Structure 1
């Protein structure tokens, strides 16, 4: 299987890429370094990436930015960061990528626990995550040629505890192996339009 993983050098992406690389051809896409360079905020860059790598069996996106700040301090431009990057970046991965995914292939997008359990200073990130969930459920009804799409939603992962634990007091860190399995379920399973939540509780 030929899999392109956008964000394959990030905290979660590295583990996911390493896992799939054991038995599949993995192409890592990233903004600054990787097998192929791609800017999620630029649809032309996304198209160039697909033109460069050609047909694939699976697209996995584990990337996208959103502004974390107090709502009272957020400007319209601050909200547009998440809308252009994490939301429309992933939507465009599907919109453009459907012409490059083989019949029966799949898309896997990424969100997080904030869609269900937001915390302070995450109005933008929570909004974007919820929007992606709705997009995945809706677009799964329209993809053709046997293509599937799912979204993996993670909570605070073990490898990011030091950086983010102050935002999630009392949350139980999710083992990286469990997070990786969410992506395995999406890519190698048969589900379509699923929100694969990798947290049983907060």
Structure 2
């Protein structure tokens, strides 16, 4: 019996070592081979790191970014998902906001764009929306200030005839490597833009919205996982997620759905105006897909959540789009 046991264990040991030898050989081959590139699963090939080293002044302007963010989604075919609707998009001049504006227009919506000071970017987005055959209103102002939010909503309703979809997307983000260096002014600017701005716009928009309308908030993977260098930003994005869930329950009796999209790294003006030039060159490289998303890869989620054809039974959800995290 003992001899048989010894034979069995010897065979098991040999089997384990045989498996180990194969894995070791495979590892050596992979170590010599060229590393895998970024994952490309879209309708076209998207840029991947390394990017040119760059650092731009706030608030960040899309026309300065190299390579230019991709927003026009040339293979997206509109199907009247938002036909006859009116949408107001904060931070709508560039990045995710621009891509959302273009797809909303392609789906039949007129669009009002709120932006801080990026006149050139806003003009390009306005032209892109109008090229889709829809009206576009541009509104320059600071969403952290309640009077501006009130005027923006009033102008949208007056000039475009109503308000069916609100996209809260404007954001302020700047890293602080050491928590002790995060100033009250920095902290206050982040909270005023990212939390107060969403609160002001939602509260001003709500009285004009009918059953079937939608509010879509832009959250972030940092609101789920946190980021040690973006403590204030992560805090606001987590707050936006909670705001989304709480507000969705409050507005169910009014027939207004409230959801959020929580992107991972996206190639927009936000990050080249936030990170060091060295960090920008490797932006998105640490995701499983080894690249950041392009704005046009995120925008379809907003169409989905805005359209009652697609998401009439969805409210209070946080939709992460994080490249495989």
**Does the pair score TM above 0.5?**
yes
TM-score for the superposition, normalised by structure 2: 0.58
CA distance in 1, matches of 2:191, 2:281: 25
CA distance in 2, matches of 1:96, 1:162: 29
Out of 86, 99, 124, the residue aligned to residue 15 of structure 1 is 99
Does residue 28 (structure 1) correspond to residue 113 (structure 2)? The answer is yes
Does residue 116 (structure 1) correspond to residue 201 (structure 2)? The answer is no
Out of 315, 319, 323, the residue aligned to residue 192 of structure 1 is 315
Structure 2, gaps ≥5 residues long: 1-84, 123-137, 273-279
CA distance in 1, matches of 2:293, 2:150: 34
- CA RMSD after TM alignment: 2.1
Aligned to 2:90: 6
Question: How far off is 1:158 after superposition?
Answer: 4.2
Higher mean C-alpha displacement, 9-18 vs 67-76: 67-76
Out of 76, 94, 99, the residue aligned to residue 207 of structure 2 is 99
TM-score for the superposition, normalised by structure 1: 0.90
C-alpha contact (below 8 Å) 1:115/1:130 kept by paired residues: yes
Does residue 201 (structure 1) correspond to residue 324 (structure 2)? The answer is yes
C-alpha contact (below 8 Å) 2:244/2:259 kept by paired residues: yes
Larger radius of gyration: 2
Q: How does 1:70-149 map to 2 (within 5 A)?
A: 70=177, 71-143=179-251, 144-149=253-258
Partner-residue secondary structure (3-state), 2:219 = strand
> Counting strand residues as a fraction of each chain, which structure ranks higher?
1
Partner-residue secondary structure (3-state), 1:98 = helix
Partner-residue secondary structure (3-state), 1:5 = strand
CA distance in 1, matches of 2:271, 2:190: 23
Q: How does 1:175-190 map to 2 (within 5 A)?
A: 175-188=294-307, 189-190=311-312
Q: How does 1:33-72 map to 2 (within 5 A)?
A: 33=119, 34=122, 35-54=138-157, 55-70=162-177, 71-72=179-180
Partner-residue secondary structure (3-state), 1:121 = coil
Partner-residue secondary structure (3-state), 1:151 = strand
